[in-house]
Amino acid sequence: MKRIWEFIKQFWMSSLFIVGLVMYCSGMFQWGWLEGHAHWCELTKKCGEIIAISGVTSFFLRITQYNRIYQQALEEVIYSKTFLSRRSDLNEIWKNVSTSLFESKFPEIHTPLLDIIIEKYFPSNDNVNYYMDIKQHLLIKWKGDKRNNTIEIEERIDLMVHTVNENKTPYQTRHIVLTGDSQPIRDPKQIIDVHEYKVDDMSFLDKPNVFKWTPEDGKMIFESSAMLPGKKKVYHIVQSVKRYQKLDIDDFLNYSARYLICNMDVEVEHPEDLKVELYGSGTVERFNPMYNRKDHKRWTYSGLILRKQGYIMTFNKS
């Protein structure tokens, strides 16, 4: 019954124009009983004109209504996650949307702003997506006599690496220790060495071509590169590195994010006569101190750390 009533409403709306047109023509040409009745002819014409206009207006209102419904349905399909996940031009879509957004808010700088976001923070040529829940523990000791002004840092980092897809992906790290203009270093492991390197409990310590030491302009650069095996998107990484720093040459530790990081926890154990401070480097929020003891400190960061952001930790004898 409901469908019949809907059909009648649709028919009535569409037939208003026809009824009005017939009435208008009857009055104009004095058809039938209207012949010779000028007053009734004029009244019939006016009524027919009003009804015809009402029919046309109702018709276009109905078309507009259906057009809007169709547009909404189409937008729901186009912007749905399922449809977008099958598109091969997501970067272009995202760039066009972002350009429209930035143009209205940053008309003069929207182009370089978008370039920085795309090229620096979301590079499309790298399969690593982001790091999740980094836990970093630093154990600091004096190396030998305190008067030598040299500290030994055992750095252990535990994190989850998320990749874009399930392809094989290189996971890379980089550490730098300043050595000054001292004599050439015969054994780079006396400056920085790796003690543990695991991907999902699989050790890479004995695998060839994973670690590389490069002396360069008064500093030692240590790099590691392990191939994540693929067939999954999330990997558990554990790495432990020991480094030696002369405080009169290198009295700080700089952590700079290689990829996006979500949540970070930094814990430090150190001698009481060594003052340790941590400062955010470019981060939007500050590292929140959980506790601050003479020989034990901890900071946490809840939220996102962008590429090239991180922290600077300083060391000073007290």
For residue 78, give the nearest of 68, 87, 69 by alpha carbon. Answer: 87
Question: In which band, very low, low, confident or very high, does the pLDDT at 161 lie, cut at 50, 70 and 90?
Answer: very high
Higher pLDDT, 201 or 9: 201
Over residues 21-37, mean pLDDT: 58
Could you tell me the pLDDT band of residue 112, with boundaries at 50, 70 and 90?
A: confident
Residue 117 pLDDT > 80: no
Q: What percent of the chain has pLDDT over 90?
A: 42
pLDDT for the residue 7: 47
The Cα 275–Cα 293 span in angstroms is: 11
The DSSP call for residue 33 is G
Q: Measure the CA–CA gap between 202 and 217, rounded to whole angstroms.
A: 35
The one-character DSSP state at 146 is: G
The winner for highest mean pLDDT among 89-103, 175-189, 281-295 is 281-295
Q: Single out the residue of 11, 30, 24 nearest to residue 53, CA to CA.
A: 24
Residue 19 to residue 10: CA distance in whole angstroms:
15
Token reading at 301: 């960061």
CB–CB of 237/107 below 8 Å?
A: no
Residue carrying the six token digits 């169709």 = 70
Mean pLDDT of the chain, nearest integer: 79
pTM (whole model) above 0.75: no
User: What is the residue extent of each domain of the chain?
Assistant: 2-82, 95-121, 128-317
Instruction: Please say if the pLDDT value at position 203 is more than 90.
Output: yes
CB of 191 within 8 A of CB of 244? yes
Residue-wise burial string across 61-89, b where 16 or more C-beta atoms lie within 10 A, e elsewhere: eeeeeeeeeeeeeeeeeeeeeeeeeeeee
Report the distance separating Cα 141 and Cα 207, nearest Å.
30
Q: What pLDDT was estimated at residue 128? A: 82
DSSP 8-class letter at 21: H
pLDDT bin (cut points 50, 70, 90) of residue 314 is very high
Average pLDDT over residues 23-46: 58
Of residues 130, 98, 132, the one with CA closest to residue 117: 98
Q: What pLDDT shows up at residue 102? A: 65
Q: How far apart are the C-alpha atoms of 185 and 221, rounded to whole Å?
A: 12
69-81 confidence digits (pLDDT tens): 555 655 555 555 6
Name the pLDDT band for 185 (thresholds 50, 70, 90): confident
CA angle centred on 101, ends 96 and 106, rounded to 5°:
120
Task: Encode pLDDT of 292-306 as tens digits.
Answer: 999 999 999 999 998
Amino acid at position 302, single letter:
S
* 3-class DSSP state of 216: coil
- Mean pLDDT within 55-69: 54
**Average pLDDT, integer, range 253-275:** 94
Is 176 in contact with 221 (CB distance < 8 Å)?
yes
Q: Is the pLDDT of residue 183 over 60?
A: yes
Among 2.60.40, 3.30.43, 2.20.28, 3.40.1350, name the CATH number for the domain at 128-317.
2.60.40
Residue 286 has pLDDT above 70, yes or no: yes
pLDDT of res. 51: 54
Phi, psi of 284 (to 5 degrees): -70, -45
**The predicted structure's pLDDT at residue 78:** 53
233: its two tokens: 């998107």
Q: How confident is the model at residue 108 (pLDDT cuts 50, 70, 90)?
A: confident
Q: What is the pLDDT of residue 186?
A: 79
